[in-house]
């Protein structure tokens, strides 16, 4: 008989380097969404999982099981080596698959039989997702958000990260989504996180907070493909609004730091989507400048002609305006202001 554990039991007793989540699903399942921090040690690769699924549905369960055993047995030595290394670092190894079924059960039975403190996550990833979906709204209830607004390039994300380094609680919505929220928002970041992964990372950020005062960047409800849950968006709208301002040189520097790092092809592809907003003549000129690695004039014109006008139409009231003349200075000013609230 193998041991099972519920996600809430782990969360309640969490200690650094005590628990390790091991996702035994295929790489494609893991890459789509997983428990944050989980380590992928798949029993089957993507093609093998697909084959077993087809046999299971079209031929017989027994034949699918047989194929699964044959494929898995070849990987056991490699899986064993990885688990032994993890066992040296963590006190408890928690295995999960999609629903807490055969894949995780088989490995837990094996490793527990040889003295490793292995658990099967009850209900697998499906139960974890249900838990997050149910409990995420409760985490927002008592939070007072301090919402950072400001034109593109003013350094809001950098300020958020510096606030975190200085011990303040933050939620990085763009980091959770792996997208910056604009037409150019995915440049240099790779694939955007799915909605489920976005919500899992939101949950992790809010659960790990030390206080009920949380800094967050003002966003529209949609960040790329991901949507901020309504209850969180409403809580943000009731937050304390502060505005970040900066001169054009600082804004350009921030834009180049975020977007320009061997990303010319992605920049050009994204600019194509702005033709209806800025016209063919401007976009053709921007593309030529990028091809010559002349990024500064492109960044400045995009802010002046496209991004800034979008911010001019709101009538939002701010409790305080901060001028970003350097990340350290503005961060310290914000912290001092918050302590005097």
Q: CB-side exposure of 54: number of CA atoms within 13 Å?
A: 6
SS3 assignment, position 329: helix
What is the location of CATH 3.40.250.10 in the chain? 4-132
Rounded Cα distance, 106 and 109, in Å: 5
Q: Which CATH superfamily is domain 4-132 in?
A: Rhodanese-like domain (3.40.250.10)
Tokens of 325: 């003349």
What is the length of the chain? 341
Rounded Cα distance, 74 and 317, in Å: 63
> What's 117's DSSP letter?
-
Q: Which CATH class is domain 141-339?
A: alpha beta
In sequence order, what DSSP letters do the residues of 205-238 get, joined into one string? HHHT-SSSEEEEE---SEETTEE--HHHHHHHHT
Per residue of the chain (341 residues), give pLDDT as tens. 678 999 999 988 776 668 999 999 999 999 999 999 999 999 999 998 888 889 888 888 888 888 888 888 889 999 999 999 999 999 999 999 999 888 899 899 999 999 999 999 999 999 999 999 999 999 999 999 999 999 999 999 999 999 999 999 999 999 999 999 888 889 989 999 999 999 999 999 999 999 999 999 998 899 999 999 999 999 999 999 999 999 999 999 999 999 999 999 999 999 999 999 999 999 999 999 999 999 999 999 999 999 888 877 677 899 999 999 999 999 999 999 999 88
The answer to whether residues 24 and 107 touch, using CB atoms and an 8 Å cutoff, is yes
The answer to whether residues 223 and 185 touch, using CB atoms and an 8 Å cutoff, is yes
Rounded Cα distance, 190 and 233, in Å: 25
What is the location of CATH 3.40.50 in the chain? 141-339
């Amino acid at each position: 008989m193998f041991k099972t554990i519920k996600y809430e039991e782990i969360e309640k007793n969490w200690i650094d380097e005590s628990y390790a989540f091991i996702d035994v699903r295929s790489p494609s399942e893991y890459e789509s969404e997983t428990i944050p921090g989980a380590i992928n040690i798949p029993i089957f690769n993507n093609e093998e999982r697909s084959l077993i699924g087809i046999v299971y549905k079209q031929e017989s369960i027994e034949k699918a099981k047989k194929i699964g055993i044959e494929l898995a047995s070849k990987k056991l030595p490699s899986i064993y080596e990885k688990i032994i290394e993890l066992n040296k670092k963590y006190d408890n190894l928690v295995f999960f698959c999609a629903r807490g079924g055969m894949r995780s059960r088989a490995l837990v039975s094996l490793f527990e039989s040889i003295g490793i403190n292995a658990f099967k996550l009850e209900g697998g990833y499906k139960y974890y997702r249900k838990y997050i979906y149910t409990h995420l709204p409760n985490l927002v209830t008592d939070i007072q958000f301090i919402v950072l607004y400001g034109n593109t390039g003013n350094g809001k994300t950098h300020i958020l990260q510096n606030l975190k380094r200085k011990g303040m609680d933050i939620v990085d919505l763009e980091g959770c989504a792996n997208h910056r929220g604009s037409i150019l928002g995915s440049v240099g970041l790779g694939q955007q996180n799915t909605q489920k992964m976005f919500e899992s990372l939101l949950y992790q950020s809010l659960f790990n907070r030390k206080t009920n005062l949380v800094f967050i960047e003002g966003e529209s409800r949609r960040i790329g493909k991901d949507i901020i849950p309504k209850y969180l968006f409403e809580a943000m709208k009731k937050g304390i609004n502060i505005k970040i301002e900066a001169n054009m040189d600082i804004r350009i520097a921030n834009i180049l730091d975020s977007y320009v790092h061997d990303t010319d092809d992605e920049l050009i592809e994204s600019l194509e989507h702005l033709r209806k907003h800025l016209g063919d003549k401007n976009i053709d000129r921007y593309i030529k400048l990028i091809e010559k690695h002349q990024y500064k004039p492109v960044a400045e014109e995009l802010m002046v002609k496209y991004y800034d006008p979008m911010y001019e139409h709101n009538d939002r009231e701010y409790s305080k305006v901060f001028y970003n003349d350097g990340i350290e200075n503005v961060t310290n000013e914000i912290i001092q202001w918050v302590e005097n609230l």
